[in-house]
Amino acid sequence: MHMADALISPAVGGVLWAATAGTVAWSCRRVRQELDERKVPLMGVLGAFVFAAQMINFTIPGTGSSGHLGGALLLAVLLGPHAAFLTIASVLVVQALFFADGGLLALGCNIFNLGFFPAFIAYPFIYRVIAPPGSGQGRVTAASLAAAVTGLQLGAFAVVLETVASGISALPFTSFVLLMQPIHLAIGAVEGLVTAAVIGFVSRVHPEITGLPTFFPERGSASGLRGVLLTLGVMALLTGGIVSWFASENPDGLEWAISRVTGSDELAAPRDGFHGTAASIQEKVAFLPDYSFPAPAVHDVSHAAASAGSGRLGTSVSGVVGGALTLGVAFLIGLILRHRASS
């Protein structure tokens, strides 16, 4: 659900940039007040894990579409909503700057849509109602499903509103919303199940993080936290470096909805003004666009075969490098805020 710049006007992009910047500032203040120092490394590792997980598009049967995890709900459960928002912002900034995934003009929209609704709406008002601290795995699974679906439905609806407000006449409200909402319902269900599974694992190893009961209370220790960090780090490395080879090639939910309305997976953005400037910056900074090595000019069959053969290597490098960058950014944010809180 990463919006391209072609879907929004500079005015709408600017408003959402401002709203996101304000939410980041508010989250920074709250994190300084409430972040447990044990969760600072968790911010980094979870950021890397979410980056890798977002590379894995899974097929939605019978639709010709695919989806990927958003990750903000999982982050909210394990880190709290404010640290979660900063972490998902780190993921999306790295994706947009270095991998050209989502537009720079649309970056404020993407952070708000994928971060605000799961962290500040679905988590406190839905998830915590169904699964307060001390809940069993059954209620956690139910809460994860309900909150993940709700967060994605709100985010998908926001995409429609932002596009319509931008005056994109090729995507009329009724047609666009009737495609966006159902496809993201299915994606939300998958995200809810994955979120519940990860939370179940963390609660067994380090229950203080989730507030869930455990049959292994002695594991809620420094060694338990190291186990969580190591496991999630290895999962991020394997997911980004290897599992990403097998991601679905079907268009994601947003691209699928656009193609159903317009006949094309994406719209062309203006090449001048704010759109042109944002595109120019992204082309210069993104060293692994679309999670692959920049494609050289193909002159013959042998060059084409070599280019195809390097696809998996480019994907693996993107997964590892992107995860490392996200880990560094999110960890550094948590470290700085924690240090300022203690000084």
Place of tokens 């999110």: 330
Distances 127 to 81, 131, 164, 293 between C-alpha atoms, Å: 12, 6, 30, 40
- In this prediction, residue 189 carries a pLDDT of 95
Buried b (16+ CB within 10 A) or exposed e, 297-317: eeeeeeeeeebeeeeeebbbb
Q: How far apart are alpha carbons 327 and 167 in whole angstroms?
A: 37
CATH class, range 5-342 = mainly alpha
Long-range contacts of 287-290 (CB under 8 A, 24+ apart): 287/98, 288/98, 288/99, 288/314, 288/317, 288/318, 288/321, 288/322, 289/99, 289/100, 290/99, 290/100, 290/101
**DSSP-based three-state secondary structure for 113:** helix
- In this prediction, residue 312 carries a pLDDT of 86
Give the global pTM: 0.93
Buried b (16+ CB within 10 A) or exposed e, 132-159: eeebebebbbbbbbbbbbbbbbbbbbbb
From the list 237, 269, 219, 305, the residue with the least C-alpha distance to 102 is 269
18, two tokens: 């401002």
Q: How far apart are alpha carbons 148 and 122 in whole angstroms?
A: 7
Residues of the chain with pLDDT under 70: 211-223, 296-310, 343
From the list 114, 86, 78, the residue with the least C-alpha distance to 29 is 86
Sign of CA dihedral 265, 270, 274, 275: positive
- In this prediction, residue 310 carries a pLDDT of 67
- In this prediction, residue 217 carries a pLDDT of 42
28, two tokens: 């920074």
- In this prediction, residue 294 carries a pLDDT of 86
179, two tokens: 């495609």
- In this prediction, residue 72 carries a pLDDT of 96
- In this prediction, residue 339 carries a pLDDT of 80
Distances 51 to 36, 292, 324 between C-alpha atoms, Å: 23, 15, 9
- In this prediction, residue 222 carries a pLDDT of 65
- In this prediction, residue 215 carries a pLDDT of 39
Buried b (16+ CB within 10 A) or exposed e, 69-82: bbbbbbbbbbbbbb
pLDDT tens for 225-258 read: 788 889 999 999 999 999 999 999 999 999 999 9
Place of tokens 């069959």: 301
- In this prediction, residue 138 carries a pLDDT of 92
